[in-house]
Amino acid sequence: MTSSDKLLQVETLAVPSFPVRLGQLSGVQISVQQVTESRFEFENTSPISGIAQCQASELLVIKDPAGNPLAVNQLAMNRIEALAAYDGSLDWGGPSGRSYLLAEKSRHSSVQPPDSMWTDAAGKQRICLDTQYLAIADATFGATQLSGQYSGLTTVTVSVTYTY
């Protein structure tokens, strides 16, 4: 049995451009902080024991207006577990179930993009950065039955600092 869930979220982040009235732009710093808390729970609902393999990954990509990646954050986890035959309780625990906090991580990345991108955009009010967030959860359990659920919350903070 194989089960797979995918979530793709695409959004545009509008960042205020550098106000040219302040002077000559000499640098741009983009900082991305991603805090993720995800939980994967699974239970063998079969009358026989077996091995479960569960994987989860999350990918965040922020791109400049030309489509080039400015920041990439990736979180991943893989679990392989021996599960007993169904114990009669769908509680994600006991001998036939598991519950894992997959990631409670804070990722911070900082990039120095080419100034030309921001200088060219200096006359515009906003610069549009495309963001893509992809979450994938997979579970495999031989030829028998596995119930599972995946839940997560990701918060992303993007800061843009202009130096002039």
Alpha carbon distance 161, 164 (integer Å)? 10
Q: How confident is the model at residue 26 (pLDDT cuts 50, 70, 90)?
A: confident
Mean pLDDT of 134-161: 78
Residue 119 CA to residue 116 CA, distance in Å, equals 5
Give the Cα separation of 35 and 107 in Å (integer).
Answer: 7
List, as one string, the DSSP characters of 147-161: EEEEEEEEEEEEEEE
Whether 131 contacts 10, CB under 8 Å: yes
Give the pLDDT confidence of 32-87 residue by residue, as tens digits: 888 888 788 888 888 999 888 888 888 889 888 888 888 888 877 788 888 999 99
The count of C-alpha atoms lying within 13 angstroms of the C-alpha of 149, restricted to the half-sphere facing its C-beta, is 6
Could you write out the DSSP letters of every residue in 61-90? EEE-TTS-EEEEEEEEEEEEEEEPSP-S--
pLDDT digits over 84-140, tens only?
Answer: 999 999 999 999 998 888 665 666 666 777 666 776 655 677 888 898 888 887 777
Query: For residue 98, which of 30, 44, 155, 163 has the smallest C-alpha distance?
Result: 44
Q: What is the mean pLDDT of residues 143-156?
A: 77
Q: Between residues 124 and 13, which one has the greater pLDDT?
A: 13
pLDDT of res. 143 = 53
| Amino acid occupying residue 99 | S
Please choose, from the candidates 77, 61, 22, the residue with its C-alpha nearest in 3D space to the C-alpha of residue 156: 61
> Considering Cα of 90, then 93, then 97, then 102, what sign does the dihedral take?
positive
